[in-house]
Structure 1
Amino acid sequence: MSAAADAREAGRRVEEVLDRLAGSGDRAACAAAEELVRVLMEFYGAGLARITGRLGARAMAPLLDDDLVASLLTLHGLHPEDLDTRIGRALGAADVPVERLGFDASTGVLRLRALPAGAAGCGCGSGSGDAGRAALEDALACFAPEVTGVDLETAAPAAPLLQIGTRPHTPARVP
């Protein structure tokens, strides 16, 4: 399971517990649980801030490729890279052949164009379909959670190449 899936599962479980508490009708217990989550987030965020501050940028660089570490750093506002760089990192991690068309910060939508089969060099069309979209969304959730939606345009298929070869040699006819 990917780190994005792990993080989503953990978030889902926290929401489930909070929902059960809210459903119990005990408002005090629900408020206490929400405060506990907030305090723990602040505590772990402060710890991560101290770690990143002591490590410095050079020591942090190799950690930025790890989707779980990147996700935690971004969640706590500690990721040293800007959004554009993190989007590029996510697209590279997803390994899906796409062209970036633009990002609308007001809506959180990233516009991409799926490159035609073979654009990645393998001829397999790995960026097509649900698996390619899922890989993109998982990587973006880890590296650039500011991206809340993906508008994935499909490129028109390229015209097939005309194969030109030589005709088999035939002897010349003598009249």
Structure 2
Amino acid sequence: MSATTTARPVSAEETGRRIEEILDRLSASGEPAGAAAAEELVRCLMDFYGSGLARVLHLLSAAPGDPLPRLLGDELVASLLVLHDLHPEDRDTRIGRALDSVRRHDLEVAGFDERTGTLRLRAAASGGCGCGSGTGAQEAAEAALACFAPEVRAVELEAAPALLQIGTKTR
């Protein structure tokens, strides 16, 4: 499914009935641990989607104007859209959005391997010492990418080139 297609209509009543039937079957199976785990799973999913819907409502009512940028910029809402293949932005745009959310590390994309899902990043040239952003940058990028671009399965941070100092010879 893509953002240009619509999701199959789902009846809340029918879905609720199906969930109850499945939980009842698991309870009747005689494995209390399995039934308890299934109930916990349903609670976790309900909490996750409930939080997402609450966030959508908050972002829609937060300010006048086009709410789409606010929705797409929110990690929880974006992750729900990506999870269901409903996000209207392409992968590269979402990667850029993720890196924007950790801009203090000043990272730029060096390349993406479609086959492995590996994103190569490097510290952007900022006129500084050229010493890169360190492991904190990679961890921050990985966390942001998990929400905005989960197709990125690995992040590699390229070492910044060494800065050569060229001066005049003094006598």
Q: What's the counterpart of residue 33 of structure 2?
A: 26
Q: What's the counterpart of residue 106 of structure 2?
A: 97
Please tell me whether Structure 1 or Structure 2 has the larger radius of gyration of its CA atoms: 1
Q: Secondary structure at the match of 1:29?
A: helix
Deviation of 1:101 (Å): 2.3
Structure 1's unaligned 5+ residue stretches are 1-23, 168-175
> Aligned pair in 2 of structure 1 residues 46, 132: CA closer, same or farther (>3 Å)?
closer
Deviation of 1:149 (Å): 0.9
Conserved 8 A contact 1:102-1:111? yes
CA deviation string 1:73-124 (max 9, x = no partner): 2233332111111001112221123332222233221112234xxx224x26
CA deviation string 1:32-55 (max 9, x = no partner): 4445556x389659969x98xx9x
Alignment TM-score, normalising by the size of structure 1: 0.56
Higher relative contact order (CA 8 A, sep 6+): 1
Mapped to 2, the partners of 1:155 and 1:27 lie a distance apart of 50
Which residue among 66, 77, 80 is the counterpart of 1:69?
A: 77
Alignment TM-score, normalising by the size of structure 2: 0.58
Deviation of 1:25 (Å): 6.3
Q: Secondary structure at the match of 2:94?
A: helix
Q: What's the counterpart of residue 149 of structure 1?
A: 154
Q: What amino acid is the match of 1:29?
A: A
Identity of aligned residues (%): 47
Residues matched between the structures, number = 133
RMSD across aligned C-alpha pairs, in angstroms?
3.6
Mapped to 1, the partners of 2:80 and 2:94 lie a distance apart of 13
**Does 2:113 match 1:107?**
no
Q: Secondary structure at the match of 2:116?
A: coil
> Aligned pair in 2 of structure 1 residues 72, 120: CA closer, same or farther (>3 Å)?
farther
The farther-off stretch of 131-140 and 63-72 is 63-72
**Does 2:142 match 1:137?**
yes
